[in-house]
Amino acid sequence: MSIPPTQQPGSSARPPAPPARPAPQGSAPSASGPSASGPGAPTQGVQGQAAQGHSAPARRPGGFAPAARAISPGDLERSGAIVSTITKVFQSRVVGQENLRLSLLTALAAGGHVLLESVPGLAKTTAASALASSITGSFARIQCTPDLMPNDIIGTQIFNYGSGTFTTQLGPVHANVVLLDEINRSSAKTQSAMLEAMQERQTSIGGEVYRLPEPFMVLATQNPIEEEGTYVLPEAQMDRFLMKEILTYPRPAEEHEILDRSTAGSLTGPREAVGTVTLEDVRFLQQMVDQVYVDPAVKRYIIDLVFTTRGSGPRPVPNLTQSVRVGASPRGSLALMRVGQAHALLHGRDYVTPDDVRAMRYGVLRHRLVLTFDALASGIKPEQIIDAVFHAVPMP
């Protein structure tokens, strides 16, 4: 099977830009980062901080934009202000890791969960706590160990001898942002306890159902190089994560800044909530993602991509079935569309282009492909399979 190499196999590097295509008028350049031209951080939440009076950008006839605006300019400005505030807090705690920052912001806006993987010392836990500290919501950290039980996560019922009744004590999963540190150190039984919480946004304790707070986001970390005392995450739970981000080593200039911050005593920054982004702001951001327009041609593009991972696309990759045992499920199609919507909003647009789908392709699909033993033995990475699929399916 001919698999094109990636920039850094197994890394989170974004794919190279596709051949030059006329960009939709009014779209924000992705290289500038989310909301590069948005207003500064507000002081009391982000509501009402958006500048007014901006004219709507021109729409390209026959492009991927709807005939009428899906989101008002004021709402786009407010979304940009929210993203800008979170970005400032994140960058005060984490040096570099721009791919990680974009993935976390995208997942937060999309209302999904993220699995972070890297060798020790690359700021997985710091990045998760930095995102949580930018939001004025509840945060819980669960250190996963082999003896961790499901009740330690979701909660339990305690018998009150005085009243002769049971009282329910909710577990730490009932928080807005939950960090599962070293999730692969917990047993399969404990890992499965998170399935209902991650998918259904609820827990069941003593026959009663308890809704989780909104917004709700799980950030899990794992170390791929240690096997002793670890348990492989089942495919069913892997599929619950909207994205999987693989962290890479910092560049020399970034590592130099880490040393400078360390000597100045400002490496980690404040651990308490320092952002002014409220839970209402996050809910607003997620509602705006719901309104981002997805053209039927983009939906067809997503479907063709996912079907190609299963070996049944319109332009199948030669010998793909020899390397991929299980392709992406319909949840993968939903994730590509949802992440595309969030990526578009973060870049100031109210419509999705194929470039939005391509931009986050590794994070969305790398953990949804189950490779064959021969592919693993040959050193083939999921990113190489993804590149082959995107190369085979033409962009609309």
Q: Would 165 be classed as within a structural domain?
A: yes
Range of the domain at 252: 86-285
Last residue of one domain, picked from the residues 244, 260, 285: 285
Residues 170 and 114 in one domain: yes
Written as six digits, the tokens of 273 are 């909530």
Residues 281 and 371 in one domain: no
Residues 190 and 302 in one domain: no
Q: Would 389 be classed as within a structural domain?
A: yes
- Using pLDDT thresholds of 50, 70 and 90, give the confidence band for residue 78: very high
What count of Cα atoms within 13 Å lies in the side-chain half-sphere of residue 117? 19
Average pLDDT of the chain to the nearest whole number: 82
Written as six digits, the tokens of 90 are 């994140």
* CATH number for position 264: 3.40.50.300
pLDDT computed for residue 232 by the predictor: 82
Q: Are 390 and 358 in contact (CB under 8 A)?
A: yes
For 325, other C-beta atoms within 10 Å of its C-beta total 14
Q: Would 1 be classed as within a structural domain?
A: no
Last residue of one domain, picked from the residues 285, 318, 349: 285
Q: For 197-245, how does the pLDDT look when each residue is reduced to its tens digit (9 = 90+)?
A: 888 899 988 888 999 999 999 999 988 877 666 788 888 888 899 999 9
Range of weakest confidence among 35-39, 134-138, 152-156, 185-189: 35-39
pLDDT computed for residue 258 by the predictor: 86
Residues 221 and 258 in one domain: yes
Tell me the percentage of the chain whose pLDDT exceeds 70.
Answer: 81
Query: How many structural domains are present in the chain?
Result: 2
pLDDT computed for residue 266 by the predictor: 62
Q: Would 8 be classed as within a structural domain?
A: no
Q: Would 68 be classed as within a structural domain?
A: no
Q: Give every CB contact of residue 158 below 8 A, 6+ residues apart in sequence.
A: 166, 167, 168, 169
Angle between helices 279-291 and 330-346 (to 10 degrees): 110
Residues 395 and 278 in one domain: no
**In sequence order, which ranges of 120-251 are alpha helices (DSSP H)?**
124-133, 150-154, 188-200, 235-238
Q: Would 335 be classed as within a structural domain?
A: yes
Residues 260 and 140 in one domain: yes
pLDDT computed for residue 121 by the predictor: 83
Mean pLDDT of 265-283: 71
Q: Would 200 be classed as within a structural domain?
A: yes
The number of angstroms, rounded, from the C-alpha of 68 to the middle of its chain's C-alpha atoms is 29
Mean pLDDT of 94-121: 91
* CATH number for position 310: 1.10.8.80
Q: Would 210 be classed as within a structural domain?
A: yes
- Using pLDDT thresholds of 50, 70 and 90, give the confidence band for residue 65: confident
Residues 207 and 246 in one domain: yes
Mean pLDDT of 313-324: 85
pLDDT computed for residue 314 by the predictor: 81
pLDDT computed for residue 208 by the predictor: 86
Residues 266 and 335 in one domain: no
Residues 253 and 108 in one domain: yes
Query: Quick check: 43 pLDDT over 80?
Result: no
Residues 238 and 299 in one domain: no
Last residue of one domain, picked from the residues 258, 285, 312: 285
**Whole-prediction pTM value?**
0.79
